[in-house]
Structure 1
Amino acid sequence: MAVNTNNVSSEHQSTCVPEQSILEVYFVALGQYNYDRAKELVEKEREVVRSQSNSSTWVSMLSMLSRLAVAEKNYASLTYLNPKWLFGKKEQSMRLTYTGLVTDLSSFELNGPGQPGSVQQINSFLSHICKQIHNFCEARAETVEFYDKLCPMVNQRTDVDYGELLSIVDRLIATHGDHFHHPLLSPIKQCFTLELEVLQSLLKAHHHMLDWLFLPTLLQLHNVHSKLENLGANIRFKEGKKSGVAIPSKTVGVPPLYQWLARFKAAQVSKFSLYFYGSLCKQADLKGHLSNLLIDYRAKIIAFHKKADAMNVSLVYDTNNAKDVFKGHGYHHPDSPHEVPTGLDSYPAIFSYPEEKPPIKLWPMVVMLLNSKAAELTDLDRVIYSFDKTQSMTYFVTRLEGRFSLVVIFNFKKSERDSYIKLFMQEMNLNLRGSNMFAGLGQKS
């Protein structure tokens, strides 16, 4: 249940020092993304106590809390990922903002206490809180560094190492999970933890999808859904079209960071619906569900197939040296025996249109192209063209990422320069490539 940031109960005020009451409301406001309210609160309090001779410690802390509120607002806005240049110099990075706070908080912890009686007791309490905030700012600085690492990957034309990214998030959770545990900081601790856990599950889902593991991917996406709901508990939503999730209303000041996480999840669900369409279509009527996704890949393929007069569009999975033995669509008992696919069967079409399976007579050429052009296909932007004169068949091939490739086949000769075909394949490539979602980090949603 959300806490009202405008009121602190009279009973609580009677049992807490004024500083603690202010801190409680301040941290609840931060946890509810109400950064302006948090900043206004501490600045008003600072003006009230500035004239008091025995309040220098509290005044200093209020100044740092005001800076923290500004830092948190900028962090959630993601604008720092598009650095600006002023008079030939790069603006101070978000990471330096937090490390600067860390330095000042360290000084405060050393110099805060030191007066007798009740003042010393209050200063000791404030120093302890500052130590907790110090740890939070250290964690934020490292998280900023992680997002800085993600942004350039959108331009990467080779596979992203999602295992490495996942290990960084795992380390952030393990290192900082218990370093700011005071009850007053619980609102920002909850947001910090949920944000990283959403990222962790998104990366795990993508990692499992690259190995074409249905159930582990599904469980991680469900985990993301639950944690996003908790993270956005204080946000008012309106349902967005073609989203796959409830898209936050832009009129209520929803942080772009949250919007990006929601869209990342929606993109993963869209891709999941294509990669595992063969399993999902057996469980329910998917037509209505697919139309509500961020991207309905099946509808895109059907529209392209009709307009381009293609014979077949297939998503191909390379099972060679895969993590698990390929068992095909559907549910399989983990201990059920399956032979390792060989030959043409080691390159199954996990999605095919218009038929559930592409014509087998065409598959030797597809497999030959995937093997002979493997070096060229490491460039994820590359579209390979081949015309088979003996069969009068045209093949277009592009690798999406990992073990997945997109193949379009025509039963007549097509021009290598056909712009509509190449545009379709490049668009599919960009959308299905996981690193494409990192572009939204440096842009306002």
Structure 2
Amino acid sequence: MSFCTHTSHIFLNSVLRKQKNMLKKKKEPKTPVTTWSVFLNFLQQLSLAEKSYIEIGFLQNKHKSFLRKRCKYDRIYNTSSNRQLRYLDILNHIETIIQRNSLGFIDISMTAVRAVFSLECEILEQLFKALTELQRLQFLPSLALIHGAHTRLNAWESKMQNRERLKGAVLSKFSLYFHGTLAQQTTPNDMRQLCSKLQHDYYQKMVTFQRKYDAACVILLSDNQVSCDTTDYDSFPIIVSYPPRSPPQLDMILKMISETANDLLNMDKVIYKFSSQEQCTYILTTVEPNIYLVIFV
């Protein structure tokens, strides 16, 4: 636990104990409710909520504070449920929050809170920047940003067991998008073991899906912002596929993506194409604005 976080815990625990003692002295069985007693009761709840915030307890489902329903962190959760997630928009919001509040902790007693606030914002900023670079399939920038977030997480609150939830999600996506690159750095067995320790082993999910439903191939492709009028399919890199090979139907798949580009703008839409010549059904959908999942059976 960092010194700032430890100090904030001591301070809050001390305040909480004093408030409880004051509340016990003021509470009598038949004493009428006064403005002062109402204020003390609210102060105790506020202190508990603040203590919960410092411990990041409000992110857990077991305990809900009286301010839980109005917590602004809900906005991040609600946004994450939307498949059409725009990382740059979220980054702009985070940067706005940092700018608006960077000078809001002038009092020396707020030093510990300022340290926690700064770390939280920096961690979110680093991870959403990493997601932006992942969307652009940039290996080294993504890796550097994930490392930066990891360094900041180590300096952050150590009690929260699932404090690395967002980092785990970014690492899981990183391991899928750059599976081929990472696999070249180690043995297949070690690669499987490393991926199995991730929050989500997306590559193994792809393998399991392909085997369970006997699909001919499952592929992730990137259009690299290619115009729909172009026939230069070399700029459609295969991000990852299983079985791990370039399918002979690749030209047909890329043509389908170009022909259905407008429909694929809707990320919730799944397109089915049947080839009577090959007696094969192609299933296409958009994973991210420039990345497509294709399954053919």
State whether structure 2 residue 10 is matched by structure 1 residue 29.
yes
Residue of structure 1 equivalent to 2:200: 295
| Whole-Å separation in 2 of the counterparts to 1:300 and 1:401 | 18
Q: 1:374 to 1:170 in 2, by over 3 A?
A: same
- Deviations, residues 402-444 of structure 1 (Å, cap 9, x unaligned): 211111123xxxxxxxxxxxxxxxxxxxxxxxxxxxxxxxxxx
On the 8 A contact 1:202/1:220 being kept in 2, the answer is: yes
Residue of structure 2 equivalent to 1:119: none
On the 8 A contact 1:39/1:70 being kept in 2, the answer is: no
Q: Identity of paired residues, percent?
A: 30
- Deviations, residues 38-61 of structure 1 (Å, cap 9, x unaligned): 5523315756999xxxxxxxxxx9
Q: 1:194 to 1:63 in 2, by over 3 A?
A: farther
Secondary structure of 2:155's aligned partner:
helix
Secondary structure of 1:405's aligned partner:
strand
Structure 2 counterparts to residues 6-405 of structure 1, below 5 A: 27-29=8-10, 37-44=13-20, 46=22, 66-73=44-51, 75=53, 76-78=56-58, 144-145=71-72, 147-157=73-83, 159-233=84-158, 235=159, 248=161, 259=162, 261-285=163-187, 286-320=191-225, 343-355=232-244, 357-359=245-247, 361-405=248-292
On the 8 A contact 2:4/2:115 being kept in 1, the answer is: no
Residue of structure 1 equivalent to 2:30: none
Q: In structure 2, give the amino acid aligned to 1:29.
A: I
Q: In structure 1, give the amino acid aligned to 2:224.
A: T
Q: TM-score, normalised by structure 2?
A: 0.79
Q: In structure 2, give the amino acid aligned to 1:382.
A: K
| Whole-Å separation in 2 of the counterparts to 1:390 and 1:278 | 32
Q: In structure 1, give the amino acid aligned to 2:96.
A: R
Structure 2 residue runs without a partner (length 5+): 27-38
Q: 1:79 to 1:269 in 2, by over 3 A?
A: closer
On the 8 A contact 2:9/2:51 being kept in 1, the answer is: no
C-alpha displacement at 1:72, in angstroms? 2.1
On the 8 A contact 1:386/1:396 being kept in 2, the answer is: yes
Q: TM-score, normalised by structure 1?
A: 0.54
C-alpha displacement at 1:308, in angstroms? 1.9
- Deviations, residues 352-397 of structure 1 (Å, cap 9, x unaligned): 2213x322x3122211221222232233232221111112222111
C-alpha displacement at 1:321, in angstroms? 5.3
| Whole-Å separation in 2 of the counterparts to 1:394 and 1:162 | 33
Secondary structure of 1:390's aligned partner:
coil
Q: 1:290 to 1:403 in 2, by over 3 A?
A: same
| Whole-Å separation in 2 of the counterparts to 1:216 and 1:382 | 31
Q: In structure 1, give the amino acid aligned to 2:19.
A: E
| Whole-Å separation in 2 of the counterparts to 1:264 and 1:2 | 21
Q: In structure 1, give the amino acid aligned to 2:284.
A: V
Q: 1:47 to 1:92 in 2, by over 3 A?
A: closer
C-alpha displacement at 1:74, in angstroms? 5.6
Q: 1:372 to 1:45 in 2, by over 3 A?
A: same
Secondary structure of 2:278's aligned partner:
coil
Residue of structure 1 equivalent to 2:31: none
On the 8 A contact 2:146/2:171 being kept in 1, the answer is: yes
Secondary structure of 1:314's aligned partner:
strand
On the 8 A contact 2:267/2:288 being kept in 1, the answer is: yes
On the 8 A contact 2:58/2:68 being kept in 1, the answer is: no
Between Structure 1 and Structure 2, how many residues are aligned? Answer: 277
The CA RMSD measured in Å over matched residues stands at: 3.6
Q: In structure 1, give the amino acid aligned to 2:196.
A: S
Q: 1:296 to 1:45 in 2, by over 3 A?
A: same
| Whole-Å separation in 2 of the counterparts to 1:198 and 1:2 | 16
Residue of structure 2 equivalent to 1:56: none
